[in-house]
Amino acid sequence: MTRTLLLIAALLAPALASAQSAGRPQYISDDITVTLRQQPRNDAPPVGVLKSGAKVSVLESLGPESFARIRTADGREGWVTARFVSSQPAAKERYLQAQQQLDEAQKRAQNLERELTAAQQQLGQAKPAFELARENESLKATIGELQRSAETLQQRYDVERAKRRTLITGASLVGAGVLLGLVLPWLGSGRKKRRYGDF
């Protein structure tokens, strides 16, 4: 009885995992192009090509080392290698978002600094001194919060930039390895032909 239950659980596990991921937004992972195919085979006819960061919906998955059936934002459906689909946007997108948030926080901080300067210039004017001092302290506190937010965003920006550099370095090393793998056998076969031709 226990063996039967374990066998049933093992058979149902992939289907349950596929059902959990179906319909959730997913993303094509970093700095690659992925071929969308008609069937879950590497030799199946292509439907199109998806770039890194393309938003897709997973309709079905045959496992992380197999294929996933997806739907693109423009409504195309097909199969891609499952390992290229990620639940997170591409590092480039996260990097750009962090940079944009940092720029916005810095602009807000600059605007508040200008307001603080204007408030300080009004200290000798009509408003009572204690009211101006209270506004001044409030603006200082707001600027402090924005500066801390800007520092946090700067740290996120630096982390995303480091991740992107690592990805680019890894892609370069893989490309160099593929190139060497193609060139070295060709050079070796050329030498063998010349050696046998000498006799």
Terminal alpha carbon distance of the chain: 73
- Mean pLDDT score, 135-145: 83
d(Cα 144, Cα 81) in Å, to the nearest integer?
48
Give the pLDDT of residue 19: 47
Q: How confident is residue 135, by pLDDT bands cut at 50, 70 and 90?
A: confident
How far does Cα 176 stand from its chain's mean position?
Answer: 23
* CATH number, position 42: 2.30.30.40
d(Cα 67, Cα 61) in Å, to the nearest integer?
6
Residue 37's contacts (CB-CB under 8 Å, 6 or more residues apart) are 44, 45, 46, 47, 78, 79, 80
Residues 145 and 110 reside in one and the same domain: yes
Give the pLDDT of residue 91: 67
Residue 181 lies in a domain: no
- CB 94: neighbour CB atoms within 10 A? 19
**Residue 57 sits in which domain range?**
20-86
Residue 96 lies in a domain: yes
Residues 43 and 76 reside in one and the same domain: yes
Residues 103 and 169 reside in one and the same domain: yes
In angstroms, the Cα distances linking 118 to 112, 123, 124, 134, 135 are 10, 9, 12, 14, 11
Residues 62 and 96 reside in one and the same domain: no
Residue 64's contacts (CB-CB under 8 Å, 6 or more residues apart) are 82, 83
Residue 182 lies in a domain: no
pLDDT for residue 4 is more than 50: yes
pTM > 0.75 = no
Residue 171's H or E segment, with its range, is helix 129-197
Mean pLDDT (the chain, rounded): 75
For residues 80 and 191, which has the higher predicted lDDT (pLDDT)?
A: 80
How far does Cα 23 stand from its chain's mean position?
Answer: 19
Residues 82 and 103 reside in one and the same domain: no
Residue 61 lies in a domain: yes
Domain end point (choices 51, 86, 121): 86
Residue 192 lies in a domain: no
For residues 72 and 52, which has the higher predicted lDDT (pLDDT)?
A: 72
pLDDT in tens, 17-59: 554 555 677 765 556 778 889 899 889 999 888 887 788 889 9
DSSP letters spanning 95-164: HHHHHHHHHHHHHHHHHHHHHHHHHHHTTTSSS-HHHHHHHHHHHHHHHHHHHHHHHHHHHHHHHHHHHH
How far does Cα 57 stand from its chain's mean position?
Answer: 16
Give the number of domains in the chain. Answer: 2
pLDDT in tens, 163-199: 888 877 877 777 777 677 777 776 766 555 555 454 4
Give the pLDDT of residue 87: 77
Which one, of 80, 98, 99, 86, lies nearest residue 30 by Cα?
86
d(Cα 68, Cα 65) in Å, to the nearest integer?
10
Residues 71 and 95 reside in one and the same domain: no
